[in-house]
Copies of this chain bind each other. A is one copy, B any other.
Amino acid sequence: MTIHILLVEDQTIVRNGLKMILEQDEQLQVVAEASNGIEALSQLECHHVDLVLLDIRMPEMNGIEAAKHMKTKFPNLKIIILTTFDDDEYAYETLKDGANGFLLKSSEPEKLIGSVKSVMNGGLVIQEDIAAKLMPKLFKQSIRRERDDMDIPLTEREIAIVQLIGEGKTNKEIANSLFLSVGTVKNHITNILHELNLRDRTQIAIYAIRNELV
């Protein structure tokens, strides 16, 4: 089965070099090329592409932006990011947007081919040295989780109960402090679980804290 590749790289010489390397393997076929993100997106419209080799540094639209748009439009598309050594600043952002691999441009030819196949088989390929640099960045990234004030699909009463669960109260305690019967509390909880798509009070407690209800 042939793997159809879109090659996105602004430096023509490098691009040709990559093409040569890739097509040494008869399974791999470069069906389209582009020199920036915008071009790449329009190429995707008119060619069937399995995998994109994407340079990070590019004019017009850079690799990160491009990757994001691509994955939105073609979720099944595989994307391998090509980086030079000092691009790692940008690189980690693409992970969130679903890049399937990172490769140094200075890689051995076989590594490139191997990685393409590996990614097509569903793998995530990260070059060792990049991985080392990337990991700490990913960590930092995940700390700054911004919360958009999402609306909670619950009634007042239900929220009150969610909060008390989030404080670790039992049904009996909740019933007492809200002047309800335990049965009523249970009913509310059953409703909450359905509405929030959760399984038990523990998950409700987690929800409460994560949504800053407690």
Binding site for B on A (CB under 8 A): 95, 100, 107-108, 110-111, 114-115, 117-118, 121-129, 131, 135-136, 138-139, 142-143, 165-168, 170, 198-203, 205-206, 209-210
Contact A168 B108 (CB under 8 A): no
Contact B121 A123 (CB under 8 A): no
- Residues of B close to A202: CB separation below 8 A: 165, 168, 201-202, 205
Output the nearest chain B residue to A126 by Cβ-Cβ distance: B124
- Residues of B close to A199: CB separation below 8 A: 168, 170
- Residues of B close to A125: CB separation below 8 A: 118, 123-125
Q: How many copies of this protein are present in the complex?
A: 2
Cβ of A100 to closest chain B Cβ, rounded Å: 7
Partner of A115, one of B95, B118, B127, B142: B118
Contact B127 A166 (CB under 8 A): no
Contact B124 A203 (CB under 8 A): no
Ranked nearest first, the 3 interchain pairs of A and B with the lowest CB-CB distance are A139-B142, A168-B203, A111-B121
Question: How far apart are the CA atoms of A200 and B171 in the complex, in Å?
Answer: 12
Contact A126 B123 (CB under 8 A): yes
Contact A110 B121 (CB under 8 A): yes
Question: How far apart are the CA atoms of A114 and B125 in the complex, in Å?
Answer: 11
Partner of A143, one of B108, B111, B143: B143
Which of A108, A114, A138, A143 has the most B CB atoms < 10 Å from its CB?
Answer: A114
Question: How far apart are the CA atoms of A85 and B137 in the complex, in Å?
Answer: 27
Q: List 22 A-B contacts (CB under 8 A).
A: A100-B128, A111-B121, A114-B117, A114-B118, A115-B118, A122-B128, A122-B129, A123-B126, A123-B128, A124-B128, A124-B131, A135-B142, A138-B138, A139-B142, A142-B143, A167-B206, A168-B198, A168-B199, A201-B202, A202-B205, A205-B205, A206-B209
Output the nearest chain B residue to A204 by Cβ-Cβ distance: B202
Cβ of A210 to closest chain B Cβ, rounded Å: 8
Question: How far apart are the CA atoms of A200 and B198 in the complex, in Å?
Answer: 18
Cβ of A191 to closest chain B Cβ, rounded Å: 18
